[in-house]
Structure 1
Amino acid sequence: MAFLFDVSSGNILLDADFKPLVGGIEMSNLLDPSKGSASISAFAGSLGYIPPEYAYTMQVTAPGNVYNYSAVLLEILTTRLPVDEAFGEGIYLVKWVHSAPARGETPEQILDARLSTVSFAWRKEMLSALKA
């Protein structure tokens, strides 16, 4: 059995040494990997962190956990909220980042400049995470 978790930045806390602690994560649905996916009849999850296949078809898959994590990581790298009116209607952070080249923006331009300019090493790591 596999679980689809509702991961969002609101579930990640920092301790006194700024080490992340994950807490308060809800299981959105129980999946049977032998079937590949499962249908649900109720909407669950945090807007901006929900995998597209879940939001549009109500079909959940195990890779949804990766999508949740990716949205949190992009939120950290860009310091933008997962849902922002500036992205346009129906566009969330993940899609906004993926569409940067079409808007003529480079990966360096979508990173938070306050973080990426701290050091070359930080910038290199941030770009590496963004391109992964």
Structure 2
Amino acid sequence: MAQATAKNDAGGTARGPLVRTMPWGQAVRWQLPVLMANAQIRFAKQLQELLTAQGVKIGHSRVHELVTQAPTRLTVEVQFALCRIFDCTPSDLWLDLGQVATDHEPDPAARQRLRGAKVVRAGEFL
């Protein structure tokens, strides 16, 4: 995974596995470790037990990944379980860092693929 760079609130540079830069140059920071600290949850094992209590079956290694790095994919089931645990909204899970300078121009073909993507509703087949 490529390290992302963005300006944080204090004006410094934020780097690391908790920051994800989108192809169009917007950076976001995964806030789960902050939410865990505010709730005094120190270990992934504790979070796993809370997720299990919410009915989400997830392995310890996957929970550890959620705690230590920004997820590339997040199921709705896990996302809303986290929101119930921390009494927050889905937008509280991510901190918008705004536009950042990228090492390269965003791929115009990727942007075009997004515009042409077919919306699939639950139960439909591709």
TM-score category (smaller protein)? under 0.3
More relative contact order in 1 or in 2 (CA 8 Å, sep 6+)? 2
